[in-house]
Amino acid sequence: MRPIVEKDPNCVRIPLTSSGDRVLHVAANVGNTACVKELVELMRPEDVLMHNADQMLPVHLAALSSHWRIVQLLSSDHLLDKMVKDTSTKRVWNWCRGYGLKLKN
């Protein structure tokens, strides 16, 4: 993954599914923690925070699929600061906290 993204950083913005999922959406949804971790290291925050056609972020898909480690990876401080204005994201955090998941502050 790293050589491809380093060669063309914009490749992570290409929709791969009919619902507009990008590579990070797909990895988060299927629970590929190693892939998500590598992508987050390589991607710009604005790319990590791209919605799909259903207005879902990768963190939403991870939470809905109960991939809690990925939710934690996608909720680093610098990303949370950018997400705080997104009301759909606030609902996901509240839902996660309701199940006892401790997110980073």
CATH of the domain at 35: 1.25.40.20
d(CA 20, CA 94): 25
Closest CA to 16 of 37, 34, 30, 33: 30
Residue 100 has a pLDDT of 60
Is 65 a domain residue? yes
d(CA 9, CA 12): 6
Is 103 a domain residue? no
Q: How many domains does the chain have?
A: 1
Q: What is the mean pLDDT of each run of 10 residues along the chain (105 residues)?
A: 91 95 97 96 89 92 93 77 56 62 54
Is 73 a domain residue? yes
Residue 105 has a pLDDT of 46
Domain that holds residue 79: 2-98
Q: Say if residues 60 and 89 touch (Cβ distance below 8 Å).
A: yes
Is 79 a domain residue? yes
One-letter identity of residue 11: C
